[in-house]
A and B are shown apart, each in its own frame.
Chain A
């Protein structure tokens, strides 16, 4: 099946620094990628939808200047948490939509990134 690689799997950083998370589709072209956030014992919450070559669409309440998304190619999207604070500590998960089947909305998930801000 399709593989989505997310890196790093875990990151610990100091408050005020920026952290970049990468999401790659390894064996298919992802015209659309999604970024989710998940707090303990809660479900995934969509943060933004990223389309290759265009600006990301952010969900209500998500600060676009705080969470920078770049989708420069059909296989790579990045999420940068800028000036991270302890409240940004969470589990971030990306997913990629397989663009080969136009009528398909199948998404494949990355393994997630555990961000801990000290």
Chain B
């Protein structure tokens, strides 16, 4: 069973609107949680990274939240643009894994339409 679950699988939003993506994880013990943006045919690009002591982190129009007690995170995209169309991946790192292995969610495919 995947230790990182994302929802929804995909969503379509109108340009200029906001949206929120969800990530639930069971990874324990937990070191940090990252959100990546992956354009089609490209490698993932980091948007935010949060440790267990942080509960929000912003990067421009992207705002991530983290509730380490409930093991939930969200990524909020404000005033979406066409260039926001991509897959958004939630990634969680084990705190005891010295090799730095990451647990990947399956991603949420976001399509922004004009």
Q: Is the CB of A44 within 8 A of B100?
A: no
Q: How many residues of B contact A (CB 8 A)?
A: 22
The number of A-B residue pairs with CB atoms under 8 Å apart is: 47
- Contact flags (1/0) for B88-105 with A, using CB distance below 8 Å? 010001000101111011
Report the minimum CB–CB distance from A25 to chain B (whole Å).
13
B104 touches A105 (CB 8 A): no
Contact with A along B75-114 (1 / 0, CB 8 A): 0000000000000010001000101111011110100000
Residue of B nearest to A106 (CB): B49
Q: Which one of A41, A49, A57, A111 contacts B43 once the chains associate, using CB atoms below 8 Å?
A: A111
**Cβ contacts under 8 Å, A44 to chain B:** 44, 89, 104
Main secondary structure of the interface of A (DSSP, over half): strand
In the complex, chain B residues whose CB is within 8 Å of the CB of A7? none
For the complex, what is the distance from the CA of A77 to the CA of B100, rounded to whole Å?
Answer: 17
A43-B109 in contact (CB<8A): no
With the chains together, A32 CA to B101 CA distance in Å? 10
Chain B CB within 8 A of A114 CB: yes
Residues of B within 8 A of A45 (CB): 104
Chain B residues with Cβ under 8 A from A111's Cβ? 42-43
Shortest CB distance B10–A (Å): 9
Q: At the interface, yes or no: B45 with Cβ under 8 Å from chain A?
A: yes
Q: Is A91 an interface residue when CB atoms closer than 8 A count as contact? A: yes
Q: Contacts A41-B109, A111-B43 hold; do A105 and B89 have CB atoms under 8 A apart?
A: no
Residues of A within 8 A of B102 (CB): 46, 107
Q: Which of A6, A43, A108, A112 contacts B105 (CB 8 A)?
A: A43
Structural contact, B43 and A109, CB atoms closer than 8 A:
yes
Evaluate contact between B107 and A43: CB separation under 8 angstroms: yes
Is A60 on the interface with B (CB-CB < 8 A)? Answer: no
